[in-house]
Amino acid sequence: MPPKALITGITGQDGSYLTEWLLGRGYEVHGVVRRTSSLERSRLSHLYVDAAVYGQSLHLHYADLDDPTTLRRVLLRVAPDELYHLAGQSHVGLSFDIPESTCEMTAMGTLRLLEMVRDLSKPVRLFHAGSSEMFGRPAVSPQNEDTPFLPVSPYGAAKVFATQMVRIYREAHGLYAVNGILYNHESPRRGENFVTRKICRAAAAIRDGRQKELSLGDTSARRDWGDARDYVRGMWLSLQQDTPRDYLFASGILHSVQDVVEVAFASVGLDWRQHVRQDPRFMRPAEPTNLVGDASRARAILGWKPEIGFEQLITEMTSAERTQSGSAA
């Protein structure tokens, strides 16, 4: 029997790469999708249309984090060996506008899932996607798994609640439950309202005459950016250990939004000064500072290290935008 994995958030960037990673290792992969009038499955469409994959080794199920009955039913039916919990409202800026639904999905949704897992007769290994945003404005830099959380956004606070609940259920109820503390991770499949994708997409569109300028918020903001494909490998590795524990995944290198702009625009032969402007609409009420991670534990125990660097990632993302629009040079 192949191992079975269930993924919440399977249609997202990480969910789609994780699906490919698991299928490549012989897993039977099940995904939870929300039933809406428009089904956003573009990141999985190459698998969905493949009759040798969809319905064979890949299965999608309708359920939702705010509809516990449906989720419990899927969990019981699938009886997975591994459960990857990636779903939730993941835009930090948006969480200032919709804090209640962000907390409902991210915080309470995780607690509901833990309660379901606790009741399962067949034990499952759970991975929960935590975030560097939980550190907020940390006193130490770089951060590791023991650095105290000081979130500065509703999203960060919701993730702290969920992460701490995973720890509590691991210790109090003996669950095999792991938090990944994930720093920013990007790819050509990144959502369009995250800053790297927004910049790479604009650089390509301006180069091809489909857009004139790019409006950004705080370009001095700095992040520890890595590649999503490296991070899903870390998720999987963290569930293959005898003992469950939390792992931090990061590149350990800080870059500014301005660095993203310069690499993306240079990669298509443009001078960013002629096209980029600041717009207060994209500024946030509060920004975290010095979010840079020390992934020593993941390196030592999992043998994990990032393989794709910042410039390679941004250049690939910009190039992918041109390929998708049919105008690659």
Residue numbers annotated as active site: 131, 133, 155
Which tokens hold the place of 39?
């089904």
Q: Measured between alpha carbons, how far is 12 from 18 in angstroms, rounded to an integer?
A: 10
Q: Measured between alpha carbons, how far is 16 from 10 in angstroms, rounded to an integer?
A: 6
Pairing outcome for strands 222-223 and 214-216: unpaired
Nearest to 177 by CA among 90, 117, 135: 117
Q: Measured between alpha carbons, how far is 287 from 216 in angstroms, rounded to an integer?
A: 15
Q: How many Å from the N-terminal Cα to the C-terminal Cα in the chain?
A: 46
Pairing outcome for strands 4-8 and 28-33: parallel
Q: Are 83 and 117 in contact (CB under 8 A)?
A: yes
Smallest gap from residue 18 Cβ to ligand G4F (A): 15
Residues that bind ligand G4F (CB under 6 A): 90, 92-93, 131-133, 182-184, 193-195, 198, 216-218, 221, 223, 257, 282, 284, 287
Smallest gap from residue 1 Cβ to ligand G4F (A): 34
Q: Measured between alpha carbons, how far is 190 from 275 in angstroms, rounded to an integer?
A: 22
Smallest gap from residue 314 Cβ to ligand G4F (A): 12
List helix spans (H) across the chain.
13-24, 45-48, 68-78, 92-95, 99-103, 109-119, 154-173, 195-207, 228-238, 257-267, 296-297, 310-324
Q: Which CB sits closer to ligand G4F, 84 or 183?
A: 183
Peptide bond into 142 cis (omega under 30): yes
SS3 content of the chain, % helix, strand, coil (to 5): 45, 15, 40
Q: Which CB sits closer to ligand G4F, 30 or 185?
A: 185
Smallest gap from residue 278 Cβ to ligand G4F (A): 8
Smallest gap from residue 304 Cβ to ligand G4F (A): 16
Q: Which CB sits closer to ligand G4F, 4 or 43?
A: 43
Smallest gap from residue 79 Cβ to ligand G4F (A): 29
Q: Which CB sits closer to ligand G4F, 132 or 267?
A: 132
Q: Which CB sits closer to ligand G4F, 31 or 136?
A: 136
Quote the longest CA-to-CA distance of the chain. 61
